[in-house]
Amino acid sequence: MTDPLSLETIIEEFNDNTEAWVLQDTKSKKYVTIPHPKYPGRNPIHFFLSKNDAELVLAEILDVNRALKNRDIFAVSVMLLNAARSIAVDKTAGNADGFVVHPPNEVFEFVRQQNQ
């Protein structure tokens, strides 16, 4: 993935009712963190603006990560700003130390690059 949305864009364009989708392991209840080249050494949660985008990325992850194939991971809905605030306030509470928000065009480019 190349360019997630900036924090300024997230604050300007979304409100407390904005729904986003994350990948979550149903047994452990932990959210899937995915390394991102813009944030080396970090474990960000990735927010997607549609369930379909989250599921497309999940399919790509499962295709390359054999360890995750036996896990029950699904796209689940969250309130974007509330979830992002929770991560920003307490980075030690969960399994993530940051977050990124992916617009649909970025997900499309990522999936297209993986299929070439």
pLDDT tens column, 11-60 = 899 999 999 999 999 999 989 888 888 888 888 889 999 999 999 989 88
What pLDDT sits at residue 58? 92
pLDDT tens column, 60-85 = 888 888 888 889 999 999 999 999 88
Q: How does 46-77 read in b/e, with b if 16+ C-beta sit within 10 Å? A: bbbbbeebbebbbebbeeeeeeeeeeebbbee
Answer for the pair 44, 31: CB distance below 8 angstroms, yes or no: no
What pLDDT sits at residue 112? 67
Q: How many angstroms separate the CA atoms of 85 and 99, rounded?
A: 10
CA end-to-end span of the chain: 14
What pLDDT sits at residue 93? 57
Q: Which two tokens stand for residue 89?
A: 């306030």
Considering 7-11, 50-54, 102-106, the range whose residues carry the highest mean pLDDT is: 50-54
Q: How many angstroms separate the CA atoms of 72 and 3, rounded?
A: 28
Question: Structure pTM?
Answer: 0.84
